[in-house]
């Protein structure tokens, strides 16, 4: 009997040791991943750069350190406009930027950032996640080995900083302005010259006279860049970028190598940052505008109605021409336009009316 008790006890102990070993081995198999995130923004720049930081920190914290993400600002690892290719090649596992920066590579990608006189931040996010936009975005980036996700939104921007007055459509002729995406093509049709520059070069280019005007984002970001020191006039509204979606691009192979829970963490962290950025801009823009006006004596002006009317007409032409240029662009724009009409009809009797009466 003693012998049987000894064998039983030994067996139980063996099972306990074996179970502990299996548990340890299982935890060890949950490998630690180290990712690099390259961005189009200056390192730690308010909202845009810090938004990328928040995304990296959120992924790292929510994963318990199993997926650690290190952020590199524009120029630290690669130039700002090489983010897409860098992540596509797998040199970095993740990037943060905006889809309209890749227009030379994928013209139809611009629909996933912003459309002049188009949908605002809430509407864009709704289209992407509940209107079929995300599926089209994924389809567009798949040939490049990339997975896109919405990871920020600037809300409605300002029209920009100008070193000449804009009193009529004629004043746009010959205007050399930093303005990316579809808005740049609209300016070109109005007689101006669009220039695509990364954020870190805006102040110097405007101050030196290399460009006559620049748009960036809105008061909070523009104050941080000190653009009021380089231009006389600050115009609104941001007709060209009414709700610009910023993106995270993820290398598909790197993403596929993650456990399912880590994949979920990455995607949900993007959604958190997408909303957080909207809240921060909403909270900070007016205080920054007050500082620009009251402390720095910035001359804030509304673009004349006839200028906005002309820009709207040209915007429709640009967008329709792009949609007609290839089947992929048409497929995306058809989805965008269908959702836009639907949500506009609702907002006409909800948001718009409320804003007018409150």
Contact 182, 319 (CB under 8 A): yes
pLDDT-derived band at 24, boundaries 50, 70, 90: very low
- For residue 14, pLDDT over 90 is answered with no
Render pLDDT for 283-310 as a digit per residue (tens, 0 to 9).
Answer: 999 999 999 999 999 999 999 999 999 9
DSSP state of 244: P
Q: Which two tokens stand for residue 152?
A: 């920020």
How high is the pLDDT of residue 334?
Answer: 98
**Long-range Cβ contacts of 308-314 (<8 Å, 24+ apart):** 308/237, 308/239, 310/169, 310/190, 311/116, 311/117, 311/186, 311/190, 311/239, 311/240, 312/116, 312/117, 312/239, 314/186, 314/189, 314/190
pLDDT-derived band at 19, boundaries 50, 70, 90: very low
pLDDT-derived band at 21, boundaries 50, 70, 90: very low
Total domains in the fold of the chain? 1
How high is the pLDDT of residue 31?
Answer: 72
Q: What is the mean pLDDT of residues 332-336?
A: 98
Contact 88, 147 (CB under 8 A): no
pLDDT-derived band at 10, boundaries 50, 70, 90: very low
Buried-exposed string 223-258: b where 16+ CB fall within 10 A, e elsewhere: bbbebbebbebbbbebbbbbbbbbbbbbbbebbeeb
Could you give the count of Cα atoms lying within 13 Å of 3 in the half-sphere of its Cβ?
Answer: 0
Of the listed ranges 9-13, 72-76, 215-219, 288-292, the least confidently predicted one is 9-13
- For residue 28, pLDDT over 50 is answered with no
Q: Is residue 218 part of a domain?
A: no
Could you give the maximum distance between any two Cα atoms of the chain, in Å?
106
Q: Is residue 148 part of a domain?
A: yes
Reference 152, options 280, 298, 319, 6; nearest CA is 280
The crossing angle, in degrees rounded to 10, of helices 305-323 and 327-348 is: 140
Tell which wins on pLDDT, 14 or 353: 353
- For residue 320, pLDDT over 70 is answered with yes
C-alpha distance across the termini of the chain, in Å: 88
- For residue 72, pLDDT over 60 is answered with yes
Reference 40, options 107, 89, 86; nearest CA is 86
Q: Is residue 44 part of a domain?
A: yes
- Decide: pTM greater than 0.85: yes
% of the chain with per-residue pLDDT over 70: 92
Domain containing 149 equals: 32-155+243-282
Q: What is the mean pLDDT of residues 195-207?
A: 94
CATH code for position 80: 3.40.190.170
How high is the pLDDT of residue 97?
Answer: 98
Sheet order of strands, 94-97 included: 67-72, 33-39, 94-97, 245-251, 146-153
Q: Which two tokens stand for residue 298?
A: 């910035």
How high is the pLDDT of residue 4?
Answer: 52
Q: What is the mean pLDDT of residues 60-87?
A: 97
How far is 54 from 47, CA to CA, in rounded Å? 9
Q: Is residue 52 part of a domain?
A: yes
Q: Which phi and psi (to 5°) does residue 184 adopt?
A: -65, -40
Render pLDDT for 150-189 as a digit per residue (tens, 0 to 9).
Answer: 999 999 999 999 999 999 999 999 999 999 999 999 999 9
Sign of CA dihedral 197, 187, 140, 49: positive
Q: Which two tokens stand for residue 291?
A: 């500082």
List CB contacts of 83: < 8 A, sequence separation 6 or more.
38, 39, 40, 92, 95, 96, 97, 101, 249
- For residue 13, pLDDT over 60 is answered with no
Render pLDDT for 76-112 as a digit per residue (tens, 0 to 9).
Answer: 999 999 999 999 999 999 999 999 999 999 999 999 9
Q: Is residue 120 part of a domain?
A: yes
Q: Is residue 320 part of a domain?
A: no
Burial class (CB in 10 A: 0-12, 13-18, 19+), 115: buried
How high is the pLDDT of residue 2?
Answer: 53
Q: Is residue 325 part of a domain?
A: no
Q: Is residue 330 part of a domain?
A: no
How high is the pLDDT of residue 22?
Answer: 40
Contact 264, 133 (CB under 8 A): no
- For residue 56, pLDDT over 70 is answered with yes
Q: What is the mean pLDDT of residues 221-247?
A: 97
Contact 233, 299 (CB under 8 A): yes
Render pLDDT for 247-269 as a digit per residue (tens, 0 to 9).
Answer: 999 999 999 999 999 999 999 99
How far is 236 from 356, CA to CA, in rounded Å? 19
Q: How far is CA 247 from CA 32, 56, 97, 101, in A?
A: 25, 13, 5, 11
The crossing angle, in degrees rounded to 10, of helices 133-141 and 327-348 is: 160
């Amino acid at each position: 009997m003693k012998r049987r008790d000894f064998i039983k006890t030994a067996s139980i102990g063996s099972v306990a040791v074996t179970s502990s070993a299996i548990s340890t081995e299982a935890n060890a198999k949950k490998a630690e991943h180290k990712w690099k995130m390259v961005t189009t923004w200056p390192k730690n720049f308010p909202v845009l750069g810090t938004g990328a930081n928040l995304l990296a920190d959120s992924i790292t914290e929510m994963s318990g350190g199993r997926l650690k993400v290190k952020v590199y600002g524009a120029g630290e690892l690669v130039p700002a406009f090489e983010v897409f290719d860098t992540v596509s090649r797998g040199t970095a596992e993740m990037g943060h930027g905006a889809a309209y920066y890749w227009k030379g590579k994928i013209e139809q990608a611009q629909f996933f950032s912003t459309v002049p006189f188009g949908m605002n931040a809430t509407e864009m996010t709704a289209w992407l996640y509940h209107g079929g936009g995300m599926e089209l975005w994924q389809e567009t980036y798949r040939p490049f080995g990339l997975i896109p996700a919405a990871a920020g939104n600037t809300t409605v921007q300002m029209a920009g900083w100008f070193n000449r007055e804009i009193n009529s459509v004629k004043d746009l002729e010959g205007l050399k302005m930093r303005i990316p995406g579809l808005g740049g093509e609209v300016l070109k049709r109005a007689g101006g010259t669009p220039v695509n520059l990364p954020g870190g070069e805006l102040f110097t280019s405007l101050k030196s006279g290399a460009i006559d005007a620049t748009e960036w984002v809105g008061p909070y970001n523009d104050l941080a860049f000190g653009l009021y020191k380089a231009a006389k006039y600050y115009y609104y509204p941001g007709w060209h970028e009414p709700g610009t979606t910023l993106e995270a691009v993820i290398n598909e192979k790197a993403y596929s190598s993650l456990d399912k829970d880590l994949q979920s963490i990455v995607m949900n962290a993007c959604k958190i940052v997408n909303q957080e950025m909207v809240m921060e801009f909403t909270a900070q823009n007016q205080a920054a505008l007050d500082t620009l006006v009251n402390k720095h004596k910035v001359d804030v002006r509304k673009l004349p109605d006839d200028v906005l009317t002309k820009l709207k007409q040209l915007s429709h032409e640009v967008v329709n021409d792009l949609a007609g240029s290839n089947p992929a662009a048409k497929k995306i724009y058809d989805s965008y336009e269908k959702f836009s009409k639907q949500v506009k009809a609702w907002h006409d009797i909800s948001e718009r009316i409320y804003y007018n009466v409150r």
